[in-house]
Amino acid sequence: MSGDDESGWRFAQCFGDKGDVEDVTEADIISAVEFDETGDYLATGDKGGRVVLFERNEGKKGCEYKFYTEFQSHEPEFDYLKSLEIEEKINKIRWCKRQNAAHFLLSTNDKTIKLWKIFEKSIKVVAENNCSEGDGAVGRFTRDSLKLPKLVHHDTMIAAIPRKIYSNAHAYHINSISVNSDGETYLSADDLRINLWNLNVADQSFNIVDIKPVNMEELTEVITAAEFHPLSCNTFMYSSSKGTIKLADMRMAALCDQHAKLFEEEEDPQNKSFFSEIISSISDVKFTRDGRYIVSRDYLTLKVWDINMESKPVQTILIHDLRSKLCDLYENDCIFDKFECTVSGDGSHVLTGSYSNYFHIYDRNGKNDIVLQADKSAFKAKKAGSAKNKPTATVGKGKVSKKEELLNVDALDFGKKILHASWHPRENTVALAATNNLFLFQQV
Amino acid sequence: MAEATPMDTDPQQTENPDGMYPIAVLLDELKHDDVSLRLNAVRRLGTIALALGVERTREELVPFLDESIDDEDEVLLALAEELGSFVEYVGGPAYAHVLLLPLENLAAVEETVVRDKAVESLSKISTVFSPGQVEEHFLPLVKRLSSGDWFTSRTSACGLYAPVYDRCTPAIRDELRKGFSVLCRDDTPMVRRAAATNLSKMIGKVSKDHLIADLLPLFNGLSQDDQDSVRLLTVEALIAIAKVLSAPESKTHLLQVMRNLCSDKSWRVRYMVAEKFVEMSKAVGDVLVREELILAYVHVLKDSEAEVRTAAATQIPGFSALIDRDAILRNILPCVQTLVSDASQHVRASLATHITGLAPLLGKDNTIEHLLPLFLQLLKDEAPEVRLNIISKLDLVNNVIGIELLSQSLLPAIVELAEDKQWRVRLAIIENIPLLASHLGQDFFDEKLSNLCMQWLGDAVFSIREAATANLRKLTEVFGVDWAKRTIIPKVLELSSNQNYLYRMTTLFALTTLAQVVTPEVVKDLIVPTVITLSADPIPNIRFNVAKSFEQLTPILRKPELGNTLNGDVRGTLNKLNEDPDVDVRYYAHRALIAAQ
């Protein structure tokens, strides 16, 4: 009983259809996972444009979640001017700070960002009023017989309404949204531009980064992700397909084309190949919660940067050594998979996904690699054994084969991948999207 | 009396039903499924309240409204607004406090506009409260909102301290200042922003001692806030404080903060400073302006961020008016000279709008020497907006250096712009022509500009042709009917036989417009015959415009001097058009005939 036992990570829950992966409905594939700032709620978005919310199940001990509500956030659209279909797929979900009993979150597809309000709505119906009898007798009413409509409580439901729709600001596909610490603005990034919005103003946004060359033939890089600094409201970062991360300060100028810091690692010219540029493209960047470190993910590695050191990452972790397989991965498009990364609430650990539904949890120093599999095996293991000791045994046993499989890259199933994940802000609980299933793992 | 009672109710029952039925409907609509009907009902709450009487309004309607808190924002907004003027319906000031209940809840909703309106209404109602009511009802509300769990109620609370402050006892005032200071240090930036916004209002209310002792530290704190969006709001408060303090006091207490704000790392803060520079300078007084702010202003004009320079440029005349001529020449002018060729066209556009304001301050000689070259450069700017802005402000310069000089130096540029590719630029020029004409005089105008004015009548853009006809009318007002008869009317008439139907159409429009300002004889002898000729035009568009033109001319044609024109030739023409093969022509002819009845 090795690593897992000590680490104590175990499978907790699985939501979604547990049937075979082969007959998954495209629309059910989860494309975004995000905990809110308290960790009491969890949101997922899928390719069908739906957002599903889960709520902490207070009745259970440990961190368990139950279905809260579901709503259709985006619908497929057609841009008649450009003759383009706009998919309903949810690219990102970000929760806003709570301001009252309701919950607010931003969800986005390729083009349109929406601010949703989710709240418990009491439905009341009019039980009594003046003209309900329908005779409408004009002479019936005197000052004293006038009455106020009487309402009775009918039902309570959880309603989701779009409070604001921020549209028509992105010419390219939106890849990121991030809420600012000032509580009133957020940014949205597409391939070439980053815009700044006021949450209260839907018809106006300010362009803060624009890397579109005058001549599109000179285009050499695109923006892949962007995020606000968690504490400093002026600072945000964005990553590019060239493997760079730029930190920009909005105080200096209205247009932040001049970055304040550039995090970039010199590439070893010896390793240069046809695929170098593709695999160095950063698929996700995150700040740790204190804003001190930046975690970035490219195709093969996870990098941890100290915000005060631009020249190289403090840690580079090889997630999966697929260098020998790049040709195949290019052929089947997997090389363009965009793996996300997520940081634990205390900033000490990072998580990112791989193939065959494996995911890795590292401590920030790159030691102590915990490999887990968000798969039906985990699910079945829990079902089979009593909660007390068997899971550990099963997972422990699984680990041996896991290590083998990881070394043997040919055995990896490239159809199963953990692209999206989110870490509970206060506890060691993680949520992962595995195709159409939402997995929760926790450390006990 | 016993007999009178049924007599009294009787007429009520026969008379009121008509009055009460709509009220019954309105009451029902307060809870209708259709939002627009609910909105309409809320907008007429006053009517409902009148019908219910003050007692039922207080006891039933107001509590009922409080239950509507989960409605659509637009309904809530209307409700918040209506409640602000509801005091009379609940029985006057003595009962005004019953309105606090629904407004308190409205002040805590998530939609900012609703909250703001609720705060506005609360402030409005608070003005009719007696000190007792303030203490008993209003202050507890302020306290509740200030300590609300969610920032929404706390932001609303920020706006409620100042309105009642001066009607409270000293002890309560102390408490209010304390409460407000807690909000200024709130964890949530939203609340601190609201506090910073309302700080200037508080400043106007408290005594000078309390200002220095209590509010100044708050102001200093906010001016060093981590959030740019909070710091930038303190510029307003700085102005408010400076207005209360004497000049030496301002220097002691505000100089450092002012310096910090002027050189803040965040351009948004500097932008705010730039935008309010004149106001700030006036508030702190001459001495500080001379010692400190001239240089600070120069810095702002040279800021690295274009947005800041744009805002700074708007303050040029205002700030220059506060300093002496030498200082303008020495400090401001060099910056202006740089800004004329600024890289950002928004900066140049802003400068173009405001630079002419320097002319009266510099006087004739300096304007000629220093400003004219800059004007010329702006007139030749590549951005049409810049050219437009400078043209529309040239009248200020005209007053200083006289039209002679202005026209000599600027006329070539203006003529060039009159043929600009951008029609909006041409339009701006046209709109300034009557003004120029009145200064230039007839001869000069005939020589230099009249051809231009005729040229516009044939412009490719309709708006220009339209503006050109209006221009002719204005010119006639300036130079008189004789001049028009001699110079422009013949040229317009000439166009009526042009090959291109658009020119003929323009003739028609020009004549119709000119008819309003020329003498009846001209109408009778020159205008009407030409219009009648055009009624036989092969293009239906022209023909129905003839009918429309006559419709517009009818009031003029009725004048006795015109004799039988209306009933004779004009009616004949219209009758003929009324049988035109084209349906539109018949339609307009018919309308004109009705007008001519």
For residue range B194-224, what is the model confidence (pLDDT) as tens digits? 999 999 999 989 998 999 999 999 999 999 9
Q: Is the pLDDT of residue A269 over 80?
A: no
The whole-angstrom separation of Cα A312 and Cα A309 is 7
Q: For A235, left (φ over 0), alpha (ψ -120 to 50), or beta?
A: beta
Å from B9 to nearest chain A CA? 10
A143 by DSSP, 3-state: which? coil
A358 by DSSP, 3-state: which? strand
Nearest by CB: B227 against A117, A142, A182 = A182
CATH 3.40.1190.20, domain A9-27+169-385+400-443, yes or no:
no
Å from A99 to nearest chain B CA? 5
- Do A143 and B60 make contact, defined as CB atoms within 8 angstroms? no
Phi and psi dihedrals of B246, rounded to 5? -75, 165
What Cα–Cα distance (Å) separates residue B231 from each residue in A65, B193, B218, B258? Answer: 41, 8, 12, 12
Which positions in chain A touch B268 (Cβ < 8 Å)? 250-251
- For chain B, helix, strand, coil in percent to 5 are 80, 0, 20
- Do A233 and B226 make contact, defined as CB atoms within 8 angstroms? yes
What Cα–Cα distance (Å) separates residue A201 from each residue in A106, A115, B25? Answer: 14, 11, 36
The DSSP annotation for B95-136 comes to GGGGGHHHHHHHTTSS-HHHHHHHHHHHHHHHTT--HHHIII
Question: Mean pLDDT across the stretch A159-188?
Answer: 93
- Do B229 and A182 make contact, defined as CB atoms within 8 angstroms? yes
Are B239 and B279 in contact by the 8 Å Cβ rule? The answer is yes
Q: Is the pLDDT of residue B250 over 80?
A: yes
- pTM, two decimal places: 0.77
Please give the pLDDT value at position A20: 66
What tens digit of pLDDT does each residue of B459-492 get?
888 889 889 899 889 889 888 888 888 888 888 8
Phi and psi dihedrals of B168, rounded to 5? -110, 160
The whole-angstrom separation of Cα A272 and Cα A258 is 28
Question: Mean pLDDT across the stretch A229-250?
Answer: 93
- Amino acid letter, B561: E
Are B551 and B566 in contact by the 8 Å Cβ rule? The answer is no
Sheet holding A223-228, edge to edge: A223-228, A235-240, A245-249, A261-263
Q: Which two tokens stand for residue B34?
A: 């259709």
Are B534 and B544 in contact by the 8 Å Cβ rule? The answer is no
Nearest by CB: B28 against A122, A140, A149 = A149
- Do B31 and A149 make contact, defined as CB atoms within 8 angstroms? yes
Q: What is the dihedral of CA A222, A227, A232, A234, to 10 degrees?
A: 40
Which positions in chain A touch B112 (Cβ < 8 Å)? 200
Q: Which residues contact B32 (CB under 8 A, 6 or more apart)?
A: B38, B41
The whole-angstrom separation of Cα A51 and Cα A71 is 6
Å from B28 to nearest chain A CA? 6
Task: Please tell me whether the interface predicted TM-score (ipTM) of this complex is above 0.85.
Answer: no
A291 by DSSP, 3-state: which? coil
What tens digit of pLDDT does each residue of B77-116 get?
999 999 999 999 999 999 999 999 999 999 998 888 999 9
Please give the pLDDT value at position B280: 93
Are B361 and B397 in contact by the 8 Å Cβ rule? The answer is no
- Do B27 and A129 make contact, defined as CB atoms within 8 angstroms? yes
- Do B152 and A139 make contact, defined as CB atoms within 8 angstroms? no
Phi and psi dihedrals of B586, rounded to 5? -60, -40
Please give the pLDDT value at position A226: 96
Q: Give the Cβ contact number of residue A271 at 10 Å.
A: 10
Q: Is the pLDDT of residue A221 over 60?
A: yes
Average pLDDT of chain B to the nearest whole number: 87
The whole-angstrom separation of Cα A53 and Cα B343 is 50
The whole-angstrom separation of Cα B420 and Cα B427 is 10
Average pLDDT of chain A to the nearest whole number: 85
List the single residue in A with minimal CA-CA distance to B17.
A139
- Residue count of chain B, please give it: 597
Which positions in chain A touch B16 (Cβ < 8 Å)? 141-143
The whole-angstrom separation of Cα A142 and Cα A146 is 6
Are B47 and B26 in contact by the 8 Å Cβ rule? The answer is yes
Q: Is the pLDDT of residue A398 over 50?
A: no
